[in-house]
């Protein structure tokens, strides 16, 4: 049995994951419109991953015979200053997601909700990877600054990573 507190927190995380999917889709749209096709592809794949993360929690709650509450998702940002700005925002968002998952994990730990702990362990590990990848992209974009050819090389590299994933 999952407590109401944990159920509410997991429902909040489901909505956070679906919102992240929408944010990444918006970032992808901006990249596509600004001829960063590799980044657009990478971000669309991230959008799909976030959707899958939400569904993983969705299925978990249903398997535990809990109600799933889907909330309205707001319009994602549509304007960014640069490709660096896109990935800085993505990195900041991943940090917020990590904080949220950490808080839910602590709640589940305190309540000895062992099934939730096992489910959330996967998310903890996933977030380490999500943050690392975004952080590395940000570092690379900061390194090349405004060198157009270097930015385009990184954009092409993101396309390769996306298709390899």
Question: What is the tens place of the pLDDT at every residue in 35-54?
Answer: 999 999 999 999 999 999 99
133-137: Cβ within 8 A, 24+ apart: 134/87, 134/90, 134/91, 134/94, 135/91, 137/87, 137/90, 137/91
Q: Please, where are the H alpha helices in the chain?
A: 4-33, 37-63, 83-110, 114-144, 148-164
Report d(CA 141, CA 84) in Å as an integer: 6
Q: Residue holding tokens 């971000």? A: 43
**Residue 62 backbone phi and psi in degrees, to 5:** -65, -40
Confidence of residue 146 (pLDDT cuts 50, 70, 90): confident
The answer to whether 34 touches 151, Cβ cutoff 8 Å, is: no
Q: Which domains does the chain have, with CATH numbers?
A: 4-164 (1.20.1260.10)
Does 114 score more than 90 pLDDT? yes
For the entire predicted model, the pTM comes to 0.93
Confidence of residue 163 (pLDDT cuts 50, 70, 90): low
Report d(CA 159, CA 137) in Å as an integer: 13
Residues shown for the chain: 165
The answer to whether 111 touches 3, Cβ cutoff 8 Å, is: yes
Q: Residue holding tokens 């998952």? A: 101
**pLDDT mean over 90-105:** 98
């Amino acid at each position: 049995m999952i407590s109401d507190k944990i159920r509410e927190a997991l429902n909040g995380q489901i909505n956070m994951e679906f919102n992240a999917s929408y944010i990444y889709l918006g970032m992808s749209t901006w990249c596509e419109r600004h001829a960063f096709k590799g980044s657009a592809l990478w971000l669309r794949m991230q959008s799909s991953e976030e959707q899958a993360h939400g569904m993983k929690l969705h299925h978990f709650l249903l398997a535990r015979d809990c109600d799933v509450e889907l909330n309205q998702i707001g319009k994602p940002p549509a304007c960014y200053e640069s490709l660096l700005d896109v990935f800085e925002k993505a990195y900041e968002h991943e940090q917020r997601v990590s904080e949220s998952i950490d808080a839910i994990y602590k709640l589940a730990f305190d309540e000895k909700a062992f099934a939730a702990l096992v489910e959330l362990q996967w998310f903890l590990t996933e977030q380490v990877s999500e943050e690392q990848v975004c952080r590395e992209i940000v570092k690379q974009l900061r390194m090349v600054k405004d060198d157009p050819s270097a930015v385009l090389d990184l954009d092409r590299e993101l396309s390769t990573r996306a298709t390899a994933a």
